[in-house]
């Protein structure tokens, strides 16, 4: 018996039985309406034909249509094909289906019956990093999986064609944005990504991969920073430090990072991209940074806010010529009463107004800090406010480019 799950997990495949003379007309109609289950072959039973269907899409209206409009004179009976034969399409299993089949037969070999709860407990999507797959936290919660231990993870990895597995928990709010990823199979969590021609390697059980910052990373890559000294106050594994060096042509980057795991990855990334000689890593809390008066540009890539780094950025900016600050922030875009009216008519405009309000107040704050730090008057002006990503409903992660110059 050929079963999708490789065992007795299904009672059979639901099908519609009709006369051979009408089977082609039935097939066309069922295919067009998405009711035909193309994973199985049609079954000839004497002068009748059984057409496999998706049961949940078949109802009385469909049956009436078939009998009265599509093929008058036909008969239409629901049945189950107990020995379904997979079609060409059905033999190619998407990974989620392969995984389900594998686990179904694994449990069966231990005499455990497949249940709807187990079905719901399966992962339906995951992140693949080369030979390592990371599942989200909402799967494999059932106690039965724990009992199977490593045998389970080996089968899962085998069916998905990888060597290592991990499971995602919530990102910890511990200041270093620890990823809370647990390794299920394999002995290390090091993975590699290539993005815009730059290689990034990191241990994903220790450092976070910020896929959402891709647009901003690309924007940084297009900046022209030759002859510029950049300070990256929140370097992580180098998501901005590297584009500054590799693409924007920065002369030198001072990269600050206090998470030792991220520092290890940053060292490796500078090496594999051959730019170590143009970067100094300052390990530790950037608020203790001793650098002063060196930077043409400062990157403050921390959310929800990089406010704690404003004073540090002001100190490192060149006293005589100033420079540009890239300030990241999560802006709460829930409109006030007045803004609510605009938001109802033009939500995009309303959001931009709220971003600008934050940007204006930041501009003033930075201007005052610069005067305080350097003891001379400064001028700050907004060059650009860009959305990096939607962080949550009504919360936008934005970046402000602020031009800061000492007044003559
Ligand atoms: C969200 S990550 C940003 C990494 C990178 N900019 C990106 O977008 O992928 C922020 C990094 O700043 C580091 N960090 C936070 N506060 C810090 C501080 N006071 N001094 C040094 N590093 C800090 C964290 O450890 C983390 O790696």
Q: What angle do CA 377, 251, 296 make, to 5 degrees?
A: 10
Average of per-residue pLDDT values in the chain:
90
pLDDT above 60: residue 319: yes
User: Does the Cβ of 213 fall within 6 Å of ligand 1?
Assistant: yes
pLDDT of residue 297: 98
Query: Which residue CA neighbors atom 27 of ligand 1 most closely?
Result: 236
Q: pLDDT digits over 31-65, tens only?
A: 988 999 988 899 999 999 999 998 888 899 999 99
Atom of ligand 1 nearest to the CA of 213: 8
Query: Which residue CA neighbors atom 12 of ligand 1 most closely?
Result: 234
Query: Which residue CA neighbors atom 7 of ligand 1 most closely?
Result: 239
User: Does the Cβ of 216 fall within 6 Å of ligand 1?
Assistant: no
Q: How far is the CA of 222 from the centre of ligand 1 (A)?
A: 22
Tell me the pLDDT band of 173, cut-offs 50, 70 and 90. low
Sorted by sequence, the CB contacts under 8 Å of residue 96 that are 6+ apart come out as 122, 123, 124, 125
User: Does the Cβ of 330 fall within 6 Å of ligand 1?
Assistant: no
Atom of ligand 1 nearest to the CA of 308: 19
pLDDT of residue 171: 59
Instruction: Report in angstroms the alpha-carbon separations of 281 from 179, 290, 310.
Output: 22, 13, 19
Report the candidate in 173, 187, 181, 182 with the shortest Cα–Cα distance to residue 131: 187
Please say whether the beta carbons of 26 and 1 come within 8 A.
no
User: Does the Cβ of 236 fall within 6 Å of ligand 1?
Assistant: yes
User: Does the Cβ of 202 fall within 6 Å of ligand 1?
Assistant: no
Q: pLDDT digits over 342-371, tens only?
A: 667 787 888 999 999 999 999 999 999 999
Atom of ligand 1 nearest to the CA of 234: 12
Where helices occur in 233-346 by DSSP H, the ranges are 241-246, 260-272, 310-316, 337-345
Tell me the pLDDT band of 3, cut-offs 50, 70 and 90. very low
Query: Which residue CA neighbors atom 18 of ligand 1 most closely?
Result: 285
* pTM greater than 0.85: no
Higher pLDDT, 127 or 232: 232
If one residue of 206, 213, 257 were mutated to test the ligand 1 pocket, choosing by the most ligand atoms within 8 A of its CB, it would be 257
Q: How far is the CA of 139 from the centre of ligand 1 (A)?
A: 29
Report the candidate in 276, 278, 281 with the shortest Cα–Cα distance to residue 263: 281
pLDDT of residue 320: 96
Domains of the chain: 13-91 (3.30.70.2580), 95-185 (3.30.300.110), 210-406 (3.40.50.150)
- Structure token digits, residue 243: 């584009």
If one residue of 209, 258, 305 were mutated to test the ligand 1 pocket, choosing by the most ligand atoms within 8 A of its CB, it would be 258
> What would the mean pLDDT of 361-390 be, rounded to a whole number?
97
Sorted by sequence, the CB contacts under 8 Å of residue 282 that are 6+ apart come out as 254, 255, 256, 257, 289, 291
């Amino acid at each position: 018996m050929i079963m999708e799950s490789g065992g007795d997990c299904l009672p059979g495949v639901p099908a519609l039985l009709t006369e051979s003379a009408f089977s082609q007309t039935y097939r066309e109609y069922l295919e067009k309406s998405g009711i035909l289950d193309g994973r199985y072959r049609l079954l000839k039973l004497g002068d009748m034909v059984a057409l496999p269907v998706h049961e949940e899409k078949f109802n009385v209206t469909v049956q009436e249509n078939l009998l009265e409009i599509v093929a008058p004179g036909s008969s239409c009976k629901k049945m189950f094909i107990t020995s379904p034969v997979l079609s060409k399409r059905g033999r190619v299993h998407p990974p989620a289906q392969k995984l389900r089949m594998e686990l179904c037969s694994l449990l069966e070999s231990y005499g455990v019956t497949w249940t709807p709860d187990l079905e719901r407990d399966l992962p339906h999507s995951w992140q693949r990093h080369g030979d390592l797959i990371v599942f989200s936290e909402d799967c494999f919660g059932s106690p039965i999986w724990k009992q199977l231990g490593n045998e389970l993870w080996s089968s899962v990895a085998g069916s998905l064609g990888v060597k290592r597995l991990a499971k995602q928990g919530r990102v910890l709010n511990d200041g270093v944005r620890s990823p809370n990823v647990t390794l299920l199979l394999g002995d290390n969590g090091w993975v590699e990504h290539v993005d815009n021609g730059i290689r990034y390697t990191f241990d994903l059980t220790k450092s976070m991969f910020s896929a959402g910052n891709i647009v901003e990373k690309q924007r940084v890559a297009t900046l022209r920073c030759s002859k510029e000294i950049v300070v990256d106050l929140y370097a992580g594994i180098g998501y901005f430090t590297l584009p500054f060096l590799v693409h924007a042509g920065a002369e030198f980057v001072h990269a600050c990072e206090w998470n030792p795991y991220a520092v290890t990855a940053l060292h490796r990334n500078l090496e594999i991209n051959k730019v170590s000689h143009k970067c100094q890593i300052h390990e530790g809390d950037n608020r203790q940074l001793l650098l002063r008066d060196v930077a043409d540009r400062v990157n403050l890539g921390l959310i929800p806010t990089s406010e704690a780094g404003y004073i540090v950025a002001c100190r490192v900016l060149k006293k005589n010529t100033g420079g540009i600050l890239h300030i990241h922030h999560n802006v709460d875009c829930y409109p006030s009463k007045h803004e609510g009216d605009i938001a109802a008519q033009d939500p995009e405009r309303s959001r931009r107004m709220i971003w600008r309000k934050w940007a204006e107040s930041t501009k003033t704050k930075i201007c005052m800090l610069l005067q305080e730090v350097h003891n001379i008057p400064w001028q700050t002006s907004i060059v650009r406010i860009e959305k990096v990503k939607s962080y949550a409903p009504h919360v936008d992660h934005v970046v402000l480019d602020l031009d800061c110059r000492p007044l003559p």
